[in-house]
């Protein structure tokens, strides 16, 4: 019938084909149009990877950072790529400018996606919380080129193996210094051990003068959970989170993200390494903490919470009732940490003041609290990529006092640096600043890959 050449209700068949192709393209790439941040990121990547024009990439990445509603995922990638470019150029001024923008750009959408779901059921008394994503931290490019196995050291549950890694590192560093100074390795090694022993003794003397607190449960129980699940290390784990009350760390809980958890739990029960106590509830036999038995409960897929029996039962009940318990102040601080952080640590105002003034006389505390601004909390984020960056933000109640505190801190660090040349070299990577809105103090410290290699040796 010559259908291909005949009009069909006002449309040529070629027009229909064009329409179908367009519809398929929209389905493939998404029905919404490309946003300005997405277009800028695409252009920047095209400049980098296709055109190999760094200046073009920088221009587009910088424009992306200026976009008010840019998604944090795109902003985080742009920040990291710009940091690499400016660091490679040796442009320290631009590096500092970028690092100070870490807390602001791409932060319109707040969420708790960077901590496990189980954290929502931590008790309200928790006022200090940490969370770490293990793979990004231990497999980052910054660790490439060093002999020390950072991943194994961080994730092993074998104390003998950890000590062997430390001893091997000591010998490598001693061998490098011995070769440079034309001395024997044993002589240098003995000297360094004596120095380390003196430093440890000095630390213990200082520690003995401060109030003593127990370690939180995640410091003692993480590897116990791994062993109960039949593992010798944490290599397969994705996240570790823990929280405690600053005045009593025994009031503590932990949450772990563990792939294939259901199978591991079944095997642990079959072998008696875990004892069932009810639905989604198990006891770790033989383990106690703060004089109480220790349990694990499953609050979400591939997530376990570790706590004393009393706290575990309360969390499980809250989960079944869909009643989150984490305090609002802590939730707000976590939401204010960028989602691309590899690890975070947040403290409420009470925890920051309590820990910051720990061990001081009451009269001294009163004077300091009158003079210094009261922090609304502390937020610390860690990113490990081609370099290590530690971002600290302290929201304040009084911006003017914050400026005074900033000036005092800078003066104190400068004085210490003048007395210690080695410390001064490391302090060059510390940036202290006040946020643009003057409502927070910012401290950023970064370590380059070259500094990591120098610190660990070849």
Predicted confidence band of residue 298 (pLDDT cuts 50, 70, 90)? very high
Lowest-pLDDT choice from 127-131, 377-381, 383-387, 416-420: 416-420
Q: Across all residues in the chain, what is the average pLDDT?
A: 85
- Predicted local confidence at residue 2, as pLDDT: 40
Query: For position 9, what pLDDT does the model report?
Result: 44
Would you say residue 37 has pLDDT above 80? yes
Rounded to the nearest angstrom, the gap between the alpha carbon of residue 184 and the centroid of all alpha carbons in its chain is 41
Q: What is the pLDDT of residue 361?
A: 57
Q: Is the pLDDT at 360 greater than 70, yes or no?
A: no
CA 431, CA 446: separation in Å to the nearest integer?
A: 9
Which tens digit of pLDDT belongs to each residue from 265-289? 999 999 999 999 999 999 999 999 9
Q: Tell me, what's the pLDDT at 25?
A: 46
Supply the DSSP string of 87-125, one letter for each residue. HHHT-HHHHHHHHHTTTTTT-SS---TTS-GGGGGS-TT
Is a pLDDT exceeding 70 seen at residue 458? Answer: no
What are the pLDDT digits (tens) for 418-450? 667 766 666 778 888 888 877 888 999 988 888
- What burial class does residue 371 get, using C-beta atoms within 10 Å of its C-beta: 0-12 exposed, 13-18 middle, 19+ buried? exposed
Asked if residue 133 lies in contact with residue 257, where contact means CB atoms within 8 angstroms, the answer is: no
pTM of the model: 0.83
């Amino acid at each position: 019938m010559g259908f291909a050449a005949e009009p069909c209700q006002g449309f040529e068949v070629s027009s229909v084909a064009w329409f179908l192709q367009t519809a398929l393209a929209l389905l493939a790439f998404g029905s919404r149009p490309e946003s300005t941040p997405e277009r800028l990121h695409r252009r920047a990547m095209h400049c980098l990877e296709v055109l190999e024009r760094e200046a073009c990439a920088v221009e587009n990445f910088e424009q992306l950072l200026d976009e008010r509603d840019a998604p944090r995922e795109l902003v985080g990638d742009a920040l990291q790529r710009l940091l690499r470019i400016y660091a490679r150029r040796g442009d320290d001024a631009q590096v500092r400018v970028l690092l100070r923008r870490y807390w602001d750009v791409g932060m319109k959408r707040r969420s708790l996606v960077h901590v496990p779901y189980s954290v929502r059921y931590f008790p309200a008394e928790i006022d200090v919380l940490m969370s770490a994503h293990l793979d990004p931290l231990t497999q980052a490019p910054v660790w490439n080129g060093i002999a020390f196995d950072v991943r194994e050291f961080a994730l092993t549950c074998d104390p003998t193996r950890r000590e062997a890694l430390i001893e091997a590192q000591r010998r490598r560093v001693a061998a490098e210094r011995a070769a440079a100074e034309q001395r024997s390795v044993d002589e240098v090694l003995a000297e360094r051990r004596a120095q380390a022993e003196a430093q440890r003794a000095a630390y213990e003397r200082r520690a003995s003068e401060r109030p003593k607190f127990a370690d939180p449960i995640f410091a003692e129980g993480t590897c116990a959970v791994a062993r109960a699940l039949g593992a010798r290390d944490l290599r397969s784990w994705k996240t570790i989170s823990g929280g405690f009350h600053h005045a009593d760390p025994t009031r503590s809980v932990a949450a772990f993200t563990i792939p294939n958890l259901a199978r591991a739990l079944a095997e642990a029960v079959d072998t008696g390494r875990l004892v069932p106590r009810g639905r989604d509830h198990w006891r770790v036999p033989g383990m106690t903490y703060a004089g109480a038995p220790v349990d694990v409960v499953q609050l979400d897929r591939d997530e376990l919470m570790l706590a004393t029996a009393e706290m575990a039962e309360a969390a499980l009940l809250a989960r079944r009732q869909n009643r989150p318990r984490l305090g609002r102040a802590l939730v707000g601080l976590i939401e204010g940490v960028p989602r691309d952080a590899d690890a975070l640590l947040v403290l409420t105002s009470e925890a920051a003041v309590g820990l910051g003034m720990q061990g001081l006389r009451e009269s001294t505390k009163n004077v300091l609290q009158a003079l210094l601004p009261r922090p609304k909390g502390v937020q610390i984020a860690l990113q490990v990529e081609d370099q290590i960056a530690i971002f600290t933000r302290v929201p304040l109640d009084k911006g003017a006092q914050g400026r005074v505190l900033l000036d005092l801190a800078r003066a104190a660090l400068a004085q210490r640096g003048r007395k210690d040349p080695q410390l001064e070299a490391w302090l060059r990577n510390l940036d202290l600043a006040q946020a643009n809105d003057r409502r927070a103090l910012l401290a950023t410290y970064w370590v380059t890959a070259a500094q990591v290699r120098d610190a660990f040796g070849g």
